[in-house]
Amino acid sequence: MFKRNNPTTPPQTVQAVERITSVLGAGVIWQGTITGSGGVRVEGTFEGQIALKGLLVVGETGKVTCENLRAANVIVAGAVKGNITAQKVEIRSTGRVWGDIVTAGFATEEGAFLRGQIRMEDAVDLGLESGEAAGESAPANGKS
């Protein structure tokens, strides 16, 4: 009738839900570099480099052009042109990706579009622990 708590059993930890801490709103056009550990939602247009330790959400009105997008988790409901490296990638039904994906976890909805290849790995090294996340990486070919 009564359940006794077992003192030798450690309490279960609750995983923190990733949160969006910054938003690039619809109608905003931004060129540059996004780095850090927070979650970012793009509803506008972004062109440049992205290296996040957190979540990146490309909303339905979002358009991202990034040669090598790196983030812990990526959700695409808009358009991404460029390669994606992430622990988990999700392409929603309205999402469109032109580029290759390297990931440990992949999900897609019916209607999603991908023109590229997917390479599944046991674990993905984002290369964000060094100075690369702080924008100290070598300049990418193309625009500067």
Report how far residue 102's alpha carbon sits from residue 88's, in angstroms, rounded to the nearest whole number: 9
Q: Average the pLDDT over each of 10-14, 34-38, 94-98 and give the range with the smallest value.
A: 10-14
Domains contained in the chain, number: 1
19-41 pLDDT, tens digit each = 888 999 999 999 999 999 889 99
Q: Is residue 6 part of a domain?
A: no
Residue 136 inside a domain? The answer is no
Considering only 8-12, 21-25, 30-34, 62-66, which range has the smallest mean pLDDT? 8-12
Domain assignment present for 13: no
Comparing 138 with 56, which gets the higher pLDDT? 56
Asked whether residue 142 is assigned to any structural domain, the reply reads: no
Residue 133 maps to a domain: no
In the predicted structure, residue 15 carries a pLDDT above the cut 90: no
Q: How far is CA 138 from the centre of its chain?
A: 21
Using CA atoms, how far apart are residues 137 and 134, in angstroms rounded to an integer?
A: 8
* Residue 134 within a domain: no
Phi/psi region, residue 142 (left: phi>0; alpha: psi -120 to 50; beta: rest), is left
Percent of the chain at pLDDT above 70? 76
The pLDDT-based confidence of 141 (bands split at 50, 70, 90) is very low
| Cα first-last separation, the chain | 69
Average pLDDT estimate for 9-15: 44
Specify the DSSP element, H or E, that contains 98.
strand 96-98
Please provide residue 34's backbone torsions phi and psi, each rounded to the nearest 5 degrees.
-115, 120
* Residues of the domain holding 34: 22-126
pTM: 0.78
Residue at 113 is within a domain: yes
Residue bearing the bigger pLDDT, 57 or 17:
57
Is the per-residue pLDDT at 48 higher than 70?
yes
Average pLDDT of 28-55?
A: 94
Q: Are 115 and 100 in contact (CB under 8 A)?
A: no
Residue 117, domain member (yes or no): yes
